[in-house]
Amino acid sequence: MPRLTFIKSGRYPVNKSHLVYAIMVGVFFTSFPAEAFKPSPEGSFIERKLASRSQSTWERILSYFALEGIHKFGEPVHEEITNRILGCEGDADICGAPEYDPDNAYFLAGVRWNDDPPFRFEQGHGRFSGCEPGATIRLVTFPRCWANVFKDGETRAREGASFDAKSSAPLLLRSHFGDMQFLHSMACKDKEPAAVTREKILAWAEFTWRVASGEFPLSMPVKDVPIRGLSDLFENKGWSILDLFSLGNPHVRKPESMSKLAFGSLLHLVEDSFARGHTERAVPDPRAKCEGTMKEHPAPGEIKEFHFYGQQDPKKHEAEDTRIAFSTHWSGTKPNVIEVGRMLYQYYTEGKKWENVKPYIECIFALDSEVRPAGAGENYAR
């Protein structure tokens, strides 16, 4: 469906009836952010429970219509991929259900985090319709605020605005339009060298794996984590690892839950790297094997380009946002994202350290000999 254009920035009061506006926002959400392998908009039962406690009657009405609109048109592809990685062998409706297996809930929360990192506005920011001062914003808890923030960020990004740690931009905008687009295996700037994007991806992979392994105390400030490049993203933030991943959600603050959540964030990164709107991979060589790994692994197709969303046509990007795109990849590529994810999950359950897993992750993100700087991609340019 086409994106609605009436929400230009969200910085003005709503002057339509609440019910009509709610329905229109529901329709707006059917064109959820152009991220390949789209997550379910409904969230987990924990997120829905938090939403029911924090929302006013008006927000509950809005949430109802917004989520109903997404449910009819959205496809929980990230959930299906993740549940299949974790062992689901059912059809798409079963494996795509966020509640398929309660044991998977925290993994799915981590996968969802990259697309929907919770945030609060700093002092003097966030004067958007639907936002509450001091509240933790997520799609499921404050959909109107979330939509207005996102649309405003999208417009400003097209106009050349920068979203990074120094700009005090919320993580939502940094991950979709700013300096943390690598969370989706995409470049953060046009013409960014692929080696630079890969370095950022590998730093996040190391961070999430070592958090998942329990190597760092959860109280450690993220800016102090001894991984090159990580402090640059959080240098002026006082967030702990616990704050980063569990803001506004006390239900995930146990070490076991945080481990699963961090691993889920890594899975999202890997899953998006197999989406054609995010990267261009070479056709895998059936004879190629990953080098230096603990077990013998067939090598995925090497990366020829990390795409940059700012140069893409959202409609063309969204063509890779469906289950059909995932199904085509799954049935026609070896090794595919499910096979790669299952190998990572096996290493995770075996408690392997980063040093042991690093060669395999480096192989997953290996660059082709003719790799190009970031661009829209041949089929996705505006």
Mean pLDDT, each 10-residue run in order, the chain (382 residues): 31 41 44 50 56 56 49 66 95 89 92 92 73 84 84 90 88 95 97 98 98 97 95 88 91 93 97 94 95 96 96 83 76 90 98 98 98 95 92
pLDDT above 90: percentage of residues in the chain: 57
Whether the Cβ atoms of residue 372 and residue 198 lie closer than 8 Å to each other: no
Mean pLDDT of the chain: 83
Beta-carbon contacts of residue 149 (< 8 Å; ≥ 6 apart): 10, 126, 128, 131, 137, 170, 172, 173
124: left (phi over 0), alpha (psi -120 to 50) or beta: left
Can you give the pLDDT at residue 237?
Answer: 81
The model carries a pTM of 0.84
Alpha-carbon distance of 26 to 365, in angstroms, equals 37
The predicted-structure confidence for 89-139, as pLDDT tens digits, reads as follows 999 889 988 888 989 999 999 999 999 999 988 666 677 888 887 888 888
3-state secondary structure the chain: CCCCCCCCCCCCCCCCCHHHHHHHHHHHHHHCCCCCCCCCCCCCHHHHHHHHHHCCHHHHHHHHHHHHHHHHHCCCHHHHHHHHHCCCCCCHHHHCCCCCCHHHHHHHHHHHHCCCCCECCCCCCCCCCCCCCCCCECCCCCHHHHHHHHHHHHHHHHCCCCCCHHHCCCHHHHHHHCCCHHHHCCCCCCCCCHHHHHHHHHHHHHHHHHHHCCCCCCCCEHHHCCCCCHHHHHCCCCCEHHHHHHCCCHHHCCHHHHHHHHHHHHHHHHHHCCCCCCEEECCCCCCCECCCCCCCCECCCCEEEEECHHHECHHHHHCCCCHHHHHHHHHHCCCCHHHHHHHHHHHHHCCCCHHHHHHHHHHHCCECCCCCCCECCCCCEC
Can you give the pLDDT at residue 328?
Answer: 78
Alpha-carbon distance of 8 to 355, in angstroms, equals 47
Alpha-carbon distance of 142 to 62, in angstroms, equals 9
Can you give the pLDDT at residue 44?
Answer: 57
The predicted-structure confidence for 7-23, as pLDDT tens digits, reads as follows 333 333 444 444 444 44
